[in-house]
Structure 1
Amino acid sequence: MKIRYIPLLLLITVTLSSCLGDNGNNPDPLELATVYVSNEGNFSDANGTITSYDPKSGSTLKAAFEDANGRPLAGIIQSAKIRGSRMYIVLNEANKIEIVDVRSLESIGTIEMSTTPTDFEILTEQVGYVSNLYDGSISIVDLENFEETDEERISVGSQPRSMVRIGNFVYVANSGSGDDQTVTVVNGSNDTVEETIEVGAGPTEIARDTGNRLWVVCKGKIAYDENWERDPENDIPGSVHIIDGQTATVIDSIETGGHPTGIALNNNGAEAYLIDEVLSAINMNTFEIKEDTLIDRTFSSIEYMPTEGRLYVGDSKGYSQNGQAIVYELDGTAIDSFSVGIAPKAFHFIVN
């Protein structure tokens, strides 16, 4: 398949986790919202949602997709990405990708998937990739006709999750529930595997900085004994590996000591914010974790909003009740919070 590449468009995807107050559920017009939150939902109920939030007014709409379309998403949100005027919402259980207008959240189309999708990456206006959790593959999707193509899937590693594109290449994190430790590099020009990079155990998230370096969060593996009790002595600790996205080589790695789950990049401030047992800051020039803990608690997800210069985090509160998002200054001071849906998974910042 010959592909004509277009420039990457601005996307900042975020991940949430924590609590404070609640600004209610005031359904202002979606055009005013500058933050969307994708909430995973409860697997047994398939009730993932999108929450819209306006930082200026503090207004929220917890089920914004349902409000815009008169129907629920009816799936578990695995990821969501904004490209141009569209948001691509990846849902398992329903095994589909819902494509919506980024301003109104009105549905444009649905791509039905034959496997369990986890992430999406766009190649051109016509072609996208979808990572499939259970068969270790990438599917090719037709973005004009909203369908999975019949082209052969691309085999990658075990349980692929996060994907990031740089130029002609797509980097795929193979989590393997902690048993895989690779990032696959797929050449989008011919849909073949170009390289396999060794990283830490359980790579689950990839973030790209402005220098085209990839920050790969490797969760490690939590060990249990025969009684399903934690077995710390046999744990595989997590790490962060930094990859040069132009040469597909590992620049450096950071041993975290715990089991990190998320990262946010502040390119202007040269700081990365890592979720582990606590929230820590990493010097992006020296690749060292700063000695002083930023926030002495853990979160399920995080993102940095450049226009505000603040951190957004969220607290999932489990899978039986709505979660909470908290806004922090970079010194760790909490300044705002708002209620979101069940198991907040990511923030998406829109510039009005």
Structure 2
Amino acid sequence: MRKFSIYGLALIGLLSLFSCMEDSPQIPLGEFEKGILIMNEGAFGANDGEVYHYDPATGTIQQNVFESKNGRPFAGLLQDMVASEGRLYLVANTGKVEVVGLKDFTSRGAVTSGLDISRSLVIANQKMYISDWGPYDANFNNPNSYIAIVNHLDGGTVSKKIPVSTRPEGMFVAGNQLLIGCSDAKKLEVVSLATDELVKTIALEGMPTRFFESEGKLYLFARDSEKVYFHEINRNNIEIINTVSVSLARATSNFALTDSGELLVITSTGWPSYNDAVAKVKVATGEVISAELFTGSGFYGIGYHVDRKEIYIADNNAFQGNGTVIVLDQSGIQKKTIPAGRGPSGFLMR
């Protein structure tokens, strides 16, 4: 009898638990927490960067999301989109950062002064760290590059600038260290987040631009005219422990990671022919699986949708009007095209 009573109480407890779980209200996703955000850089001089939202399930697209939700144009050249802390940070290389809510895209604040040629952003210790080339000198070099710090997640003023090597691009937070790829200087630099001071500089092969993670390993992507380099980084002591060298000529810094340990890299002959291609490379070995998975011209950005197994290519249409997004299957076969804004250059898959 006692045995039955114990089992009965356990069963009642389980039923109560499931009942509570079923009664708990499900918080619906916000309007922009699913689907694909298309980053449109905009045209130089016009500063008409914008964001489009595409729902692959329905095929619907919303144009000019920032302006429609805030009643004013973005008014900048959009360089990067970073989702963090329930916010979306829109980084303009014209020297500002707009902060919007990730759910509804309404403005939460901005950084509108103290920046020059801002490139990317990370959040650490409840602060913004913004990579910035700094101003051009008379020879169009950037000898005064820096990382700008803003002490509030919703924007405000620049509280400090940390001098770094020429042309910082992507960043990555590893523990209490901020890793920075300085492209023109060909260096990996490290800032201590405890002191906000530069503490280490490592020379690299190639021009580093962005960090990525594959199969549990951290890499810094770099390139030159003939090769691509995947520099593997030890997260504990921030040292390069291995470099995968890939024979891939004319690679750009536009790449996307698949869910099978491969990198999709855009290559381009540049002006005047602009013969562009998407190459597929195995990260662990550097094997070029396909140098021309898909070819065309005007390829300006690339993304990969893990759930749908689709490749998204941003085609800038030579900046003659609006661009297009080309959607491919995994094998590189074109499935459809999607209208985009001026100079589409990147994606945020939700």
Tell me whether the two structures share a fold, i.e. TM-score over 0.5.
yes
Select the residue among 139, 157, 163 that pairs with 1:148: 157
Aligned residues: 299
Q: Show the counterpart of 1:15.
A: none
Q: Following TM superposition, by how much is the alpha carbon of 1:251 offset from its aligned partner in structure 2, in angstroms?
A: 1.3
The equivalent position to 1:205 in structure 2, one of 207, 210, 213, is 210
Task: Using the TM superposition, give the Cα deviation of residue 245 of structure 1 relative to its aligned residue in structure 2, in angstroms.
Answer: 4.5
Shift in alpha-carbon separation, 1:96–1:330, aligned structure 2, 3 A = same
Residue identity over aligned pairs, in percent, reads 23
Structure ranking higher in helix proportion: 2
For the aligned residues, what is the CA RMSD? 2.1
Deviation digits for residues 206-229 of structure 1, max 9, x if unmatched?
Answer: 3333514224132x3xxxxxxxxx
Paired with 2:148 and 2:102, the residues of 1 have a C-alpha distance of: 24
TM-score (norm 1): 0.79
Matched, 1:61 2:70: no
Q: Any idea what the Cα deviations from partners look like across 1:37-84, whole Å, max 9, x if unmatched?
A: 111101201110001110011111120111111111111111110013
Report 1:124-273 matches (<5 A).
124=125, 126-134=126-134, 135-144=144-153, 146-151=155-160, 153-176=161-184, 180-218=185-223, 220=224, 236-246=225-235, 247-252=238-243, 253-266=245-258, 268-273=259-264
Say if 1:192 and 1:31 are closer, same or farther in 2 by CA, change over 3 A: closer
Task: Provide the C-alpha distance between the structure 2 equivalents of 1:250 and 1:216, rounded to a whole number of angstroms.
Answer: 14
**Residue number in structure 1 paired with 2:287:** 288
Secondary structure, aligned partner of 1:190: coil
TM superposition shift of 1:31: 4.5
CA contact (8 A) 2:209 2:220 kept: no
Q: 1:204 to 1:80 in 2, by over 3 A?
A: same
- TM-aligned CA deviation for residue 205 of structure 1: 3.1
The runs of 5 or more residues in structure 1 that have no matched partner are: 1-28, 221-235
Of Structure 1 and Structure 2, the greater strand share is in 2
Q: Give me the TM-score of the superposition, normalised by structure 2.
A: 0.79
Work out the CA distance in 1 between the residues paired with 2:321 and 2:78.
16
- Aligned positions of 1:261-340 closer than 5 A: 261-266=253-258, 268-277=259-268, 278-291=277-290, 293-297=292-296, 299-340=299-340
Alpha-carbon contact 2:262-2:281 (below 8 Å) kept? yes
Deviations 1:107-152 (A, max 9, x none): 111122312211111103x21200111221101111256223433x
Q: 2:12 — aligned with what?
A: none
CA contact (8 A) 2:206 2:222 kept: no
2:109/2:156 contact within 8 Å kept: no
Question: Displacement of 1:341 after TM fit?
Answer: 0.8
Partner amino acid, structure 2, of 1:282: V
Cα 1:62–1:200 shift into 2, 3 Å = farther
Cα offset, 1:345, TM superposition: 1.7
CA distance in 1, matches of 2:81, 2:207: 21
Greater relative contact order (Cα 8 A, min sep 6): structure 1 or 2? Answer: 1
Q: 1:212 to 1:339 in 2, by over 3 A?
A: same
CA contact (8 A) 1:97 1:113 kept: no
- The 1:161/1:292 distance shift into structure 2, 3 A limit, reads closer
Deviation, structure 1 residue 101 = 0.9
Which has the greater radius of gyration?
2
Shift of 1:32: 7.7
Structure 2: which amino acid aligns with 1:262?
Answer: N
- Structure 1 segments (4+ residues) deviating >6 Å: none
Q: Where in structure 2 are there 5+ consecutive unaligned residues?
A: 1-29, 135-143, 269-276
In structure 2, distance between residues paired with 1:315 and 1:245: 36
